[in-house]
Amino acid sequence: MTHPRRSSRPIYHQIADDLRVQITSGDLAPDAQLPTEGELCDRYVVNRGTVRQALGLLLNEGLIVSVRPRGYFVRDRKHMTYRPQDEYCPRPENPSADQFLTSVAQEGRSASQAIEVAIIIPPREIAERLQLPEGGRAVVRRRVRAIDGEPFNINDSYFPSDLVERSEITNPADIARGANKVLAELGHEQIRATDEIYVRMPRPIEVTRLQLGPGTPVAVHYLTGYTAQDRPVRVVENVLPGDRHVIVYERRKSDAQPGTEA
Amino acid sequence: MTHPRRSSRPIYHQIADDLRVQITSGDLAPDAQLPTEGELCDRYVVNRGTVRQALGLLLNEGLIVSVRPRGYFVRDRKHMTYRPQDEYCPRPENPSADQFLTSVAQEGRSASQAIEVAIIIPPREIAERLQLPEGGRAVVRRRVRAIDGEPFNINDSYFPSDLVERSEITNPADIARGANKVLAELGHEQIRATDEIYVRMPRPIEVTRLQLGPGTPVAVHYLTGYTAQDRPVRVVENVLPGDRHVIVYERRKSDAQPGTEA
DNA sequence: TAGTGGTCTAGACCACCAG
DNA sequence: TGGTGGTCTAGACCACTAA
């Protein structure tokens, strides 16, 4: 690799391109170790700073990870299926634990979740969806779900404070029959829901809670549940690390009217 | 800001934290200009390299953009609604143009798309979903959709080559009545579909085609359409920049059986 | 303890474009 | 043409952990 000083793709991009090809072609298999920074300096005859710029690109593309002080490794991805529908109407067959715990157990892995309940003035995104008045309070049930001890996703459910204040929902433990059931018993049965999915880089707090590496975007799934009177009574915010999830919808025949598209 | 040389959060993180607060709090409004690198060096009494590390964090978080040679600016996000359902059963009322063009026009903006057709051996992700044999060919209709002249998303549709080889589908022009209709006429009506959504950082080719800035993740939406005989006859790969889309599902009452969560 | 990546400094030259 | 960010070098010290 030469250093054509001008009018060329920057050296660190060239180095990144070279390594990227090796990774995507499989020459560098998942979990394989990359050459050390020093070796790359020698190989490409550049300064360490330039090598680090190249590696920085690959880190931010989510292609490699740095395991200090061992070196850089090709990232391996395993995707767990996430079905937004399950967030709405789960646990038909096993009402003693929630959908997440059940489905993971079926795969023979150990799942756990930490639950925390608080009454707060929710962030704008939530307040808007719950149609709360200015300064209106909400009860939030915050959960971090983990598989085999590793944090997996964030699942925060918000309810208008006045609806659930003295109900079971404010109890920081798993609700066996489901929070929706409790809401229905309180006279606020949900009959409709919308899903919104945003894609962005995680916020620092999310990086911490989910132990995210660089180059890991998240999908944020908002589920808003409405009563027959079109009143929003629940908003669930799910934060799903991109390197650990596929979001899957199954479409029924009734939804499908053939008609178009490329 | 001091430089406690040891046992502390790195300086460039502290600088990034400081700036991040100003951005998320609104002190630095969207489109506002940040101080120049030189000014930040003075303010925090650090080397330019350190300032650039801090700005690099914010760039990769998608919070700011660099407009050379003017400076750094707080990023503004505008989300356009993307409904996966529309990719399956669109243009009911206006069969002369496809769903995308129609819905954008309704918002009073100008949409356009470039179509390109090719017969290829598809990448693994596509071949698997189409259940193609090793080396099996597919017809691909590639589109880059743009709004007001700016690229917006990538929409590539794949069909098994043997099904559509000499049909209208290989014609690189908009198919007014929709490719699904053509498929149905060929005896391959789709009655079922699955959606999968992945979240990841874009590949270099996607960065180019979509003119993505750093810190912009993408959602990749795979739609697989099946016939009554469970044969996959179409895979659509949509690449949606995270800074330009919200993915929305509306859920019907029939889909909603209250039951759980949170 | 040797070797890894993480952080930080100091200085240089460049391309670009608004003034 | 001056000032911006982009690239690259050279060198220093550090924390961490596997050997």
Per-residue pLDDT reduced to its tens digit, A169-214 = 888 788 878 888 889 999 999 998 999 999 999 999 999 889 898 8
The reported pLDDT for the residue numbered A150 is 80
pLDDT-based confidence at residue A165 (cuts at 50, 70, 90): confident
Distance (Å) from the alpha carbon of A39 to chain B's nearest alpha carbon: 23
- The answer to whether the CB atoms of A262 and B179 lie below 8 A apart is yes
pLDDT-based confidence at residue A253 (cuts at 50, 70, 90): low
Burial tier of B203 (Cβ tally within 10 Å: 0-12, 13-18, 19+) = middle
The model carries a pTM of 0.87
Instruction: List all nucleotides in chain D with at least one atom under 7 A from a protein Cβ.
Output: 2-12, 14-18
Range with lowest mean pLDDT among A7-16, B49-58, B62-71: A7-16
The reported pLDDT for the residue numbered A2 is 34
Chain B residues close to A190, C-beta within 8 Å: 256, 258
Distance between CA atoms of residues B158 and B177, nearest Å: 18
- The answer to whether the CB atoms of A249 and B175 lie below 8 A apart is no
**DSSP symbol at A201:** P
B166 or B224, greater pLDDT: B224
Q: What are phi and psi of A221, to 5 degrees?
A: -105, 115
- The answer to whether the CB atoms of A56 and B56 lie below 8 A apart is yes
Distance between CA atoms of residues B76 and B71, nearest Å: 15
Taking residues B218-247, report their average pLDDT: 95
The reported pLDDT for the residue numbered B88 is 67
Spatial neighbors of A98 by CB under 8 A, at least 6 apart, are A90, A91, A174, A178, B260, B261
pLDDT-based confidence at residue B261 (cuts at 50, 70, 90): very low
Averaged pLDDT of chain A: 86
Cross-strand bridge partners of residue A151: A146
Handedness of CA B155, B159, B161, B167 (dihedral sign): negative
- The answer to whether the CB atoms of B219 and A219 lie below 8 A apart is yes
Range with lowest mean pLDDT among A78-92, A202-216, B175-189: A78-92
Q: Is the pLDDT of residue A69 over 90?
A: no
Q: What are phi and psi of A156, to 5 degrees?
A: -110, 125
Chain A residues close to B91, C-beta within 8 Å: 259-260
The reported pLDDT for the residue numbered A75 is 94
The reported pLDDT for the residue numbered B5 is 43
Taking residues B35-45, report their average pLDDT: 94
The reported pLDDT for the residue numbered A262 is 37
A88 or A23, greater pLDDT: A23
Distance (Å) from the alpha carbon of A215 to chain B's nearest alpha carbon: 7
With CA of A13 and C1' of each nucleotide, the nearest comes out as D7
- Tell me if chain B has a CB within 8 Å of the CB of A196: yes
Q: Is the pLDDT of residue A228 over 60?
A: yes
Per-residue pLDDT reduced to its tens digit, A52-68 = 999 999 999 999 999 98
Q: What are phi and psi of A137, to 5 degrees?
A: -95, 155
- Tell me if chain A has a CB within 8 Å of the CB of B98: yes
Q: Where are the domains of chain A?
A: 11-74, 80-254
Chains A and B form CB pairs within 8 A to the count of 222
A189 or A94, greater pLDDT: A189
- Under 8 Å between Cβ of A246 and A187: no
Q: Report which residue is nearest nucleotide D17 when distances run from CA to C1'.
A: A69
Burial tier of B193 (Cβ tally within 10 Å: 0-12, 13-18, 19+) = buried
Per-residue pLDDT reduced to its tens digit, B132-181 = 999 999 999 999 888 877 888 999 999 999 999 888 888 878 887 888 88
Which pair of structure tokens corresponds to residue B212?
A: 């993505």
What's the CATH code, domain B11-74? 1.10.10.10
Taking residues A101-106, report their average pLDDT: 71
The reported pLDDT for the residue numbered A3 is 45
- Between the CA of A243 and the C1' of D19, what is the distance in angstroms? 33
Which pair of structure tokens corresponds to residue A203?
A: 């916020």
Q: Is the pLDDT of residue B258 over 70?
A: no
Distance between CA atoms of residues A126 and A140, nearest Å: 10
pLDDT-based confidence at residue A88 (cuts at 50, 70, 90): low
Could you tell me which of A31, A53, A30 has the C-alpha nearest to residue A40? A53
Range with lowest mean pLDDT among A95-104, A165-174, A251-260, B20-29: A251-260
Residues 173-192 of B with CB under 7 A from strand D: none
Give, for A177, the enclosing helix (H) or strand (E). none
Burial A173-202 (b: 16+ CB within 10 A, else e): ebbeebbbbbbbeeebbbbbbebbbbbbbb
Chain B residues close to A178, C-beta within 8 Å: 258-261
Cross-strand bridge partners of residue B225: B193, B234
Chain-centroid distance of CA A172 in Å reads 23
Residues 27-66 of A with CB under 7 A from strand D: 45-50, 53
Which pair of structure tokens corresponds to residue B224?
A: 């697989």
Beta strands of chain B (E only): which ranges?
A: 64-67, 71-74, 80-82, 111-120, 138-147, 150-160, 190-200, 218-227, 232-241, 245-251
Taking residues B9-28, report their average pLDDT: 94
Q: Report which residue is nearest nucleotide C17 when distances run from CA to C1'.
A: B69
- Tell me if chain A has a CB within 8 Å of the CB of B91: yes
pLDDT-based confidence at residue A231 (cuts at 50, 70, 90): very high
Distance (Å) from the alpha carbon of A202 to chain B's nearest alpha carbon: 7
Q: Is the pLDDT of residue B90 over 80?
A: no
Cis peptide before B35 (omega within 30 of 0): no
Handedness of CA A66, B215, B103, B168 (dihedral sign): negative
Which pair of structure tokens corresponds to residue A182?
A: 């409790």
Which one of 3.30.565.10, 3.40.1410.10, 3.30.540.10, 3.30.410.40 gives the CATH number of domain A80-254? 3.40.1410.10
Kindly calculate the radius of gyration of chain A based on its CA atoms and give it in whole angstroms: 23
